[in-house]
């Protein structure tokens, strides 16, 4: 990804809003927020991923309809079952969708593991986010340029959380800020880091 691509994407994301939600857990532990998944928009390079079987993945806005609030989604670091961070059932993980994608708020456990995560997100060592899902409705076709495309129209959510290597550059996390301007800046920094890392790879 070129510097021009990054500049265009960030300019298109300057209207980010700050939203306050209640996240259960020890009040002393800060909340991590982010976008685990981003919806496809033509021309937005951050919203296009590549599947393990070589398809260009486009997540459509209806993909998670009816999936939120069922208290079954958990949060893990790097999708690892031995590194659980929280869950909808416990109230330490809150999920919502907006025009951009799948937004999450997570309060990590008050443990050395949880505080290490807070430290890594705070200092920018960890800026990625992603999710695990089971597809329930897809559409596949070959684009005019020859690429195989898979559109995800429906999915069962399984897990959401911070990752070191997000499938989509737009999948990012940052420390939630109660000031809208500060929260917006934190989000844009995380996006820029992911786009830079994607360019390097």
Burial of 22 (0-12, 13-18, 19+ CB in 10 A): exposed
- Compute CA distances 96 → 11, 20, 77, 160, whole Å: 23, 12, 19, 12
- Compute CA distances 194 → 21, 88, 150, whole Å: 25, 26, 23
What is the predicted pLDDT for the residue at 197? 61
Mode of pairing for the β-strands spanning 148-163 and 128-142: antiparallel
Which of 70, 47, 66, 42 has its CA nearest to residue 57?
47
The tens digit of pLDDT for each residue in 65-100 reads 988 877 789 999 999 999 999 999 999 999 999 888
Greatest Cα pair distance in the chain: 53
Give yes or no for residue 15 having a pLDDT over 50.
no
DSSP summary character for residue 1: -
The tens digit of pLDDT for each residue in 145-161 reads 898 999 999 999 999 99
pLDDT band for position 45 (cuts 50, 70, 90): low
More confident residue, 9 or 98: 98
What is the predicted pLDDT for the residue at 11? 46
> 95: which strand partners?
104
What is the predicted pLDDT for the residue at 168? 75
Evaluate whether 55 touches 149 at the Cβ level (below 8 Å).
Answer: yes
DSSP 57-125: EEE-TTTTTT-TTSS--EEEGGG-TTSEEEETTTTSEEEEE-SSEEEEEE---SSHHHHHHHHHHHTTS
The contacts of residue 64 (CB under 8 Å, 6+ apart) are 37, 97, 102, 155, 157
Evaluate whether 33 touches 19 at the Cβ level (below 8 Å).
Answer: no
CB atoms within 10 A of CB 69: 11
Task: In whole angstroms, give the CA distance from residue 69 to residue 48.
Answer: 26
User: Sign of torsion, CA 107 111 113 117?
Assistant: positive
Lowest-pLDDT range of 25-29, 51-55, 78-82: 25-29
């Amino acid at each position: 990804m070129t510097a021009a691509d990054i500049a265009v994407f960030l300019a298109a994301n300057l209207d980010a809003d700050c939203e306050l939600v209640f996240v259960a857990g020890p009040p002393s532990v800060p909340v991590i927020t982010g976008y685990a998944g981003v919806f496809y928009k033509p021309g937005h390079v951050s919203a296009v991923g590549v599947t393990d079987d070589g398809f260009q993945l486009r997540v459509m806005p209806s993909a998670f309809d009816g999936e939120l609030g069922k208290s079954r989604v958990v949060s893990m670091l790097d999708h690892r079952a031995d590194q659980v961070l929280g869950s909808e059932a416990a109230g330490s993980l809150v999920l919502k969708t907006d025009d951009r994608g799948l937004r999450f708020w997570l309060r990590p456990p008050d443990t050395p593991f949880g505080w290490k995560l807070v430290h890594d997100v705070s200092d920018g060592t960890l800026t990625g986010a992603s999710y695990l899902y089971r597809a329930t409705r897809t559409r596949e076709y070959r684009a005019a340029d020859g690429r195989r495309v898979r559109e995800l129209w429906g999915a069962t959510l399984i897990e959401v959380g911070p990752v070191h290597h997000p499938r989509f550059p737009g999948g990012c996390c940052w420390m939630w800020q109660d000031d809208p301007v500060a929260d917006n800046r934190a989000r844009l920094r995380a996006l820029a880091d992911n786009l830079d890392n994607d360019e390097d790879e």
